[in-house]
Structure 1
Amino acid sequence: MAGDHAVVLRMVGVSKAYLGTQALKGVDFELKAGAVNVLVGENGAGKSTMMKIIAGVEQPTGGQLLLDGRPVSLRSCEEARRHGIGIVFQELNLFPNLSIAENLFIGRELVKARHAIDMPAQRERARALLRDLAHELDPDTLVGDLRVGQQQIVEIAKALSQDARILILDEPTSALSQPEVEVLFRVIADLKARGVAIVYISHRLEELVRIGDYITVLRDGRITGSARMAEVDVPWIVRQMVGASTRDFARTDDHQFGDVVLQVENVRLPRRNLPGWLVDGVSLQLRAGEIVGIYGLMGAGRTELFECIFGCHPGRASGSVQLQGQQLMGRDIQACIRAGLALIPEDRKADGLVHTQSIAENMTLSSLWRLARRGWLGPAAERRAVAQQVRELHIKAPRPELPIGSLSGGNQQKVLIGRALMTNPKVLLMDEPSRGIDIGAKAEVFKAMRDMAKAGMAILFVTSDLEEVMALSDRILVMCNGRVSAEFAEGQATQAALVAASAPGQPLAA
């Protein structure tokens, strides 16, 4: 890498405490212009806290920020924005009841005479921003009608619309397909050429090595390593994060599968107010102790298939879903849970967590009927059940009574996994189970999946990560345009074959 980059922002001895928990401990950090400044660390290491301080969401309890060499106090997002700082949060911050264009310009509306909002100008600017990200979405579409990956594209477009000189991207690719990731990388290269300082947070380590110019590693609120990206490799990154250099996605010993527990036949889900199908005649079966991975691009119908199996579309979905011979199609979510199904949703913020409740209350939400005795919930039984999941899933939670929002994104994901396990399911549906989870937590979750399968649980999971689906799956299904386009037995799949099977050929008939 030729030449050094100028330091645009510096954190000096910055600390931050929450409810007695020290999130940051005297952090010194330099952010360089015209470069991708990678920030990595396990969930709970303090990455998001650092970025929230830079973006004006949080204020430090100690230390200071220097912008262009001068002390600055960023007391709000608006103040940070005036200094040219933009952020794409890991948890999406959009208004589902507003259109794409309205979300992009909320609080910064384009106006014409007499201060009226210039909606045509906003729509045209929105179209241009989305086109730069290779998306031809209608600017008048309600954000609530978009899938998670499309919402993430809107968040990125919103940040780009602010012409920021400092742009923070917190897990920007977690819900994007590989082609969308490539588009984002081209946009980042263009921003670098314009001198924008980019902070890039991700748990996809090979992605970081490819795109980063500088790397900073956080562990337990402290910086453990800082270097030029050209001078490090993946084992160095992992070693700074967790004190070891391995990525353990390894499978456990092979075991025998049991009988078929889940039989799905010709499941279909129509589009809303449009011709065609979101899920188009999908059939599959799952045996006890088997892990089946579903790979596909965003919009392939993977999430919608899970929703059909789990009773989210009674009256709309058709076909047959049988769990150990019991017909579940047409029954509601509660009936599916009691029958032995559990679902970990793709979007934990919108579909998984109750943000006004505590860690413990979120974890026991689906199993209160199992914990109650004669209609009464025993606090002692609830505490024991929660403590067991916290211990087994290595959830970093000082006290289960704290709000769920006090946890990092990865630990919130573990809470959802614990909630599912507390229902003692026969079949576990996992939609992007590793989204927002660090390398150490990934290994723990994957080991838990293999252990659960060895104990006889059947697992059906969706992932956009080729390495994960190949490492974890006993069998792989590929979805495209709402259909199963290919199936691979263990050892038969290659990354090239999976990508080829997931690529749309002829568009789905309208």
Structure 2
Amino acid sequence: MSDTATMERPAAPSAAAVPPLLEIQGILKIFPGVVALNNVQLKLRAGTVHALMGENGAGKSTLMKIIAGIYTPEKGDIRLRGQPIVLKSPLDALNQGIAMIHQELNLMPYMTVAENVWITREPKNWLGLVDHAELNRKTAELFKDLNIDIDPAIEIQELSVASRQMVEIAKAVSWNSDVLIMDEPTSALTETEVAHLFAIIRRLRAQGKGIIYITHKMNELFEIADEFSVFRDGQYIATHLSSEVTRDDIIRMMVGREITQMFPKLDVPIGDVVLSVKDLCVEGIFKNVSFDIRAGEIVGMAGLVGSGRSNVAEALFGVVPATSGTISIKGKPIEIKTPTQALEAGMAFLTEDRKETGCFLALNIQENMDSAVLNQRYVSKGFVQSEQLNKDCLEMAKRLRVKTPSMDEIIQNLSGGNQQKVLVGRWLLTNPRILILDEPTRGIDVGAKAEIHRLVSELAGTGVAILMISSEMPEVLGMSDRVVVMHGGQVTGILDRKDANQVSVMDLAAK
């Protein structure tokens, strides 16, 4: 039995003792060119948390959108409290007591918190106008019950991502829903914020709510879920109590194969310094950041949220140019004021936020993947070598196991994890000398993570210098030759692989 088998798990109620609150049977959903769901099933019991696990494209979010009234299945049955229901719209689902908190938050930024929570249900005064005092009072009362400390009168645009997540949860709870669907709710939360979310979930569970919880983070399943179901390639695989399985058992069910090594770090020769950063500053954000990366070396960058890690990456790539300090490539100082200059210098940069700064959501997969190389090695005498470019993009999509009916599919139609794979492929196609990866496996399933880790390690073996920023400690420790640790906009230490462990890194990150 693996170590994870000893992790703290909730005491799950007996499956036989609690009848299903929500029951799904025989669901079939077809999109053009792909069968998204084929004869899937799910049973959610009142007063339980049911985790839904599977690789990107397994069909998890599609089923949730069916339950939330966004999609209509070709066939299948949905029963709520033992009675068959037909859901024709999201409002229909809400009225039936089913609420969904989406991975991509759907709040209106220029409206207040209270207005977002009670939209379409605002209390009115005797003139028929919105009673803002009562609106704020009701919101404050709801937040007090959920232990959420947010001003109801503040505009959404002024809140952090974590606070917006809490508003979404409160909004769903405000409908007094019996079924709550949470799709990757902790993807942008700190450990403290995750603990707060879990406290809310436990309170809702104690009130008899049924919660469907989608996550790629295996430790969350063991901490918060009573039971779980696994989907693979649009099909139902199995359901188990979380107390009865190990992490390795779940991975085998998810990917249909053994993953023998999550962090396939290759032992490759380390060459000369490729990238040298000396006293780099962006005024008011970070200062005096210095480190080197050698050919074939993977340098991890660790630190708590707000430490300045992503800001350093943006300065290196010219997104927000440095205000002082020097960047040198192979010993020669270089001025990088724009991403175009960085690309010409042999850099590539996978950004942290795939929706805001990564994907061209209205374009297809081919266009998203080839966008960084159209002015590089695929152009000859002013003409794009389309045949070779298309062939290489398709091969990259296959290597990364992007699940799509074709390269012509619009990228916003893909799952978040598959979008991330397309972005990784975009930058690998540039054949960079220096590769900057900011949260490269965020929102990606375990099988794809292992594949991306393998590709990164292979790139290092070809002499590429790699800077990898990650909030996941196992990823930093498993893949890095050295670890640069930041706190408060400054480098607090640089650790060799042999000296880096969770304690030593966190000690520097919390200074």
The TM-score normalised by the length of structure 2 is 0.90
Q: Indicate whether 1:358 and 2:364 are aligned.
A: yes
Cα deviation per residue 1:89-133 (whole Å; 9 max; x = unaligned)?
223333445555554444444544534444455566667777888
Following TM superposition, by how much is the alpha carbon of 1:55 offset from its aligned partner in structure 2, in angstroms?
Answer: 1.0
Matched residue type, 1:481: G
Report 1:223-302 matches (<5 A).
223-246=236-259, 248-270=261-283, 277-302=284-309
Please give the alpha-carbon distance, in whole angstroms, between the structure 2 residues aligned to 1:76 and 1:328: 55
Following TM superposition, by how much is the alpha carbon of 1:24 offset from its aligned partner in structure 2, in angstroms?
Answer: 0.5
Please give the alpha-carbon distance, in whole angstroms, between the structure 1 residues aligned to 2:492 and 2:168: 31
Q: Which of 408, 418, 428 is the matching residue for 2:425?
A: 418
What is aligned with 2:443?
436
Q: Which of 39, 58, 61 is the matching residue for 1:48?
A: 61
Look up the SS of the partner of 2:266 in the other structure. coil
When residues 189 and 135 of structure 1 are mapped into structure 2, their CA distance, relative to the original with a 3 A threshold, is closer
What is aligned with 1:309?
316
Matched residue type, 1:341: M
What is aligned with 1:273?
none
CA contact (8 A) 2:327 2:334 kept: yes
Following TM superposition, by how much is the alpha carbon of 1:359 offset from its aligned partner in structure 2, in angstroms?
Answer: 0.6
Look up the SS of the partner of 1:215 in the other structure. strand
Report 1:365-376 matches (<5 A).
365-370=371-376, 371-376=378-383
Please give the alpha-carbon distance, in whole angstroms, between the structure 2 residues aligned to 1:305 and 1:102: 37
CA contact (8 A) 2:33 2:405 kept: no
Q: Indicate whether 1:468 and 2:462 are aligned.
A: no
Matched residue type, 2:37: L
Q: Which of 372, 390, 393 is the matching residue for 1:383?
A: 390
When residues 259 and 47 of structure 1 are mapped into structure 2, their CA distance, relative to the original with a 3 A threshold, is same
Matched residue type, 2:226: D
Look up the SS of the partner of 2:281 in the other structure. strand
Please give the alpha-carbon distance, in whole angstroms, between the structure 1 residues aligned to 2:134 and 2:280: 43
Following TM superposition, by how much is the alpha carbon of 1:269 offset from its aligned partner in structure 2, in angstroms?
Answer: 2.9
CA contact (8 A) 1:310 1:336 kept: yes
Look up the SS of the partner of 1:368 in the other structure. coil
What is aligned with 2:4?
none
CA contact (8 A) 2:114 2:153 kept: yes
Look up the SS of the partner of 2:252 in the other structure. helix
When residues 479 and 312 of structure 1 are mapped into structure 2, their CA distance, relative to the original with a 3 A threshold, is same
CA contact (8 A) 1:177 1:464 kept: no
Following TM superposition, by how much is the alpha carbon of 1:403 offset from its aligned partner in structure 2, in angstroms?
Answer: 1.1
Cα deviation per residue 1:162-181 (whole Å; 9 max; x = unaligned)?
44321111111122222222
What is aligned with 2:200?
187
Following TM superposition, by how much is the alpha carbon of 1:42 offset from its aligned partner in structure 2, in angstroms?
Answer: 1.0
Please give the alpha-carbon distance, in whole angstroms, between the structure 2 residues aligned to 1:360 and 1:449: 22
Name whichever of 244-253 and 9-18 sits farther off.
Answer: 244-253
Look up the SS of the partner of 1:43 in the other structure. coil
Please give the alpha-carbon distance, in whole angstroms, between the structure 2 residues aligned to 1:186 and 1:309: 39
CA contact (8 A) 2:265 2:478 kept: no
When residues 45 and 293 of structure 1 are mapped into structure 2, their CA distance, relative to the original with a 3 A threshold, is same
When residues 172 and 389 of structure 1 are mapped into structure 2, their CA distance, relative to the original with a 3 A threshold, is same
Please give the alpha-carbon distance, in whole angstroms, between the structure 2 residues aligned to 1:117 and 1:397: 46
When residues 18 and 260 of structure 1 are mapped into structure 2, their CA distance, relative to the original with a 3 A threshold, is same
Name whichever of 325-334 and 223-232 sits farther off.
Answer: 325-334
Cα deviation per residue 1:468-504 (whole Å; 9 max; x = unaligned)?
111111111222222222322112122123233323x
Aligned residues: 497
What is aligned with 1:489?
496
Matched residue type, 2:312: L
Q: Indicate whether 1:199 and 2:207 are aligned.
A: no
What is aligned with 1:23?
36
Name whichever of 177-186 and 32-41 sits farther off.
Answer: 177-186
Name whichever of 323-332 and 408-417 sits farther off.
Answer: 323-332
What is aligned with 1:222?
235
Name whichever of 296-305 and 470-479 sits farther off.
Answer: 296-305
CA contact (8 A) 1:247 1:443 kept: no
When residues 83 and 342 of structure 1 are mapped into structure 2, their CA distance, relative to the original with a 3 A threshold, is same
Look up the SS of the partner of 2:498 in the other structure. coil
Matched residue type, 1:404: I
When residues 25 and 488 of structure 1 are mapped into structure 2, their CA distance, relative to the original with a 3 A threshold, is same
Name whichever of 206-215 and 320-329 sits farther off.
Answer: 320-329
Name whichever of 46-55 and 257-266 sits farther off.
Answer: 257-266
When residues 286 and 150 of structure 1 are mapped into structure 2, their CA distance, relative to the original with a 3 A threshold, is farther
Name whichever of 421-430 and 241-250 sits farther off.
Answer: 241-250
Please give the alpha-carbon distance, in whole angstroms, between the structure 1 residues aligned to 2:143 and 2:379: 50
Q: Indicate whether 1:457 and 2:464 are aligned.
A: yes
CA contact (8 A) 1:344 1:429 kept: yes
CA contact (8 A) 1:37 1:199 kept: yes
Name whichever of 84-93 and 441-450 sits farther off.
Answer: 84-93
Matched residue type, 2:243: A
Q: Indicate whether 1:176 and 2:189 are aligned.
A: yes
Name whichever of 323-332 and 379-388 sits farther off.
Answer: 323-332
Cα deviation per residue 1:285-338 (whole Å; 9 max; x = unaligned)?
211111111222222222222222221124x74433333345555511111112
Following TM superposition, by how much is the alpha carbon of 1:145 offset from its aligned partner in structure 2, in angstroms?
Answer: 6.0
Name whichever of 21-30 and 72-81 sits farther off.
Answer: 72-81
Please give the alpha-carbon distance, in whole angstroms, between the structure 2 residues aligned to 1:256 and 1:90: 41
Following TM superposition, by how much is the alpha carbon of 1:357 offset from its aligned partner in structure 2, in angstroms?
Answer: 0.7
Q: Which of 338, 348, 353 is the matching residue for 1:342?
A: 348
When residues 19 and 299 of structure 1 are mapped into structure 2, their CA distance, relative to the original with a 3 A threshold, is same
CA contact (8 A) 2:222 2:242 kept: yes
CA contact (8 A) 2:266 2:457 kept: no
Q: Indicate whether 1:85 and 2:91 are aligned.
A: no
When residues 24 and 267 of structure 1 are mapped into structure 2, their CA distance, relative to the original with a 3 A threshold, is same
When residues 80 and 18 of structure 1 are mapped into structure 2, their CA distance, relative to the original with a 3 A threshold, is same
User: Which segments of 5 or more consecutive residues in structure 2 lack a partner in the other structure?
Assistant: 1-11
Following TM superposition, by how much is the alpha carbon of 1:54 offset from its aligned partner in structure 2, in angstroms?
Answer: 0.8
Matched residue type, 1:242: V
Please give the alpha-carbon distance, in whole angstroms, between the structure 1 residues aligned to 2:297 and 2:386: 35
Following TM superposition, by how much is the alpha carbon of 1:268 offset from its aligned partner in structure 2, in angstroms?
Answer: 2.8
Please give the alpha-carbon distance, in whole angstroms, between the structure 2 residues aligned to 1:499 and 1:128: 37
Please give the alpha-carbon distance, in whole angstroms, between the structure 1 residues aligned to 2:240 and 2:166: 30
Report 1:66-215 matches (<5 A).
66-98=79-111, 100-109=113-122, 111-119=124-132, 143=156, 148-149=161-162, 151-215=164-228
RMSD value over aligned CA atoms?
2.6
Q: Percent identity?
A: 39
What is aligned with 1:9?
22
When residues 486 and 16 of structure 1 are mapped into structure 2, their CA distance, relative to the original with a 3 A threshold, is same
Matched residue type, 2:19: A
CA contact (8 A) 2:178 2:208 kept: yes
Matched residue type, 1:177: T
Please give the alpha-carbon distance, in whole angstroms, between the structure 1 residues aligned to 2:405 and 2:446: 21
Report 1:24-39 matches (<5 A).
24-39=37-52
